[in-house]
Amino acid sequence: MLFSKPPDPDKLNILCFPYAGGNADYYNRWSTQLDESICLHPVHLPGRGKYIQRPLISSMELLITLLIDELDTFRDCRVGFLGTSMGGWIAFQLAQQLNTSCHPVQPECLIICSAAHPDYRSHLPDLSGLDTQHAVNRLGTFNPACLNVLSNPELAEIYLPILQADLLLCRHWQFQAQPVLNCPLWAYHGTSDLIVQHDMMPAWASLTSASFKLDTVEGIIFLQKGPRTDFSNSCTSVSPHYSKR
C-alpha cells in the first residue's frame, strides 16, 4: 500500500504527494497544525523512504495506474490532493485521469505548492547518459541546494537514482491541458523558492473550470517544520466549503 493509514470517512482526506527526490514523510509534521476536519495521507512512492527496496518508477502513466489501483480504499470518502513541486504534477495528472474516467473517487480540491505550470517541465535538467559526477554537476547548477546531499558519495549513491527517475518521469510526461479539472485549484508560491518563480504559476488557472487562487507564503514551503499560519489557514478553509457526500 502507498498509503500508511486508512481513510477517515468523517473527514476530508488529503492525499499528499512529494517533491522530486523526496518522500512524503515530511507532511506528517503538518498534521497537528491543521483543523481536525482534515486527515493528511502522505503518499509513499516506490523506491524511497519505507519502500526504498521497491523499483523506482520513471513513467507518469505507470505511476498513475498504480495510484488508481490503490484508491479503492477511499471509495465513499471525501478526498483532496496536495502536491509539492513534482508532487503537484502527479496530483494534477491523477485528478485529470479520475475525472476523465468518471472514477468513483473524485478530488474536491487540488492544492499545488511550489509547482510551475506543467509547460515549464522542459526547464528540468536532462541527466540522460551522464555519469555520476556530471549528473551531480548538472543538478548542482539547476539547484545548488542539491549539493548539500549529493556532494556526499554515500548519500549520492542513494538519492541520485531517485532524482534521475523523478526527473525522467517529469520530462517525459505527456501533459495534456484538456480536459480541465472540475474542482477548485489553489496554488502557493514560496517567496524563497529559487527554482519555481512566481510567474510560472498563474497559468494553473487555465487547468480548472472551477475557482482558482494563487497565494504567496514566506520561505520555502516543504523545508519548513510545519506550514506557516497563513498556509495552514488556507488549507483548513477547504474542508467547510464542501458537504460530505
What are the angstrom distances between the C-alpha of 118 and each of 90, 94, 114, 122, 146? Answer: 10, 14, 12, 9, 22
- Whose cell is 556532494? That residue is 151
| Any domain includes 225 | yes
Distance CA 113, CA 77 (A): 24
Q: What is the pTM of this model?
A: 0.93
| Any domain includes 147 | no
| Any domain includes 4 | no
| Any domain includes 21 | yes
Report pLDDT for 222.
56
CATH (domain of 226): 3.40.50.1820
| Any domain includes 141 | no
| Any domain includes 194 | yes
- The number of domains in the chain is 1
Give the mean pLDDT of 148-169.
95
Report pLDDT for 242.
45
Give tens-digit pLDDT for 177-216.
999 999 999 999 988 888 999 999 999 999 999 999 998 8
Distance CA 18, CA 26 (A): 9
CB-based contact 237:43 (threshold 8 Å):
no
| Any domain includes 145 | no
* Domain housing 189: 12-121+175-241
| Any domain includes 137 | no
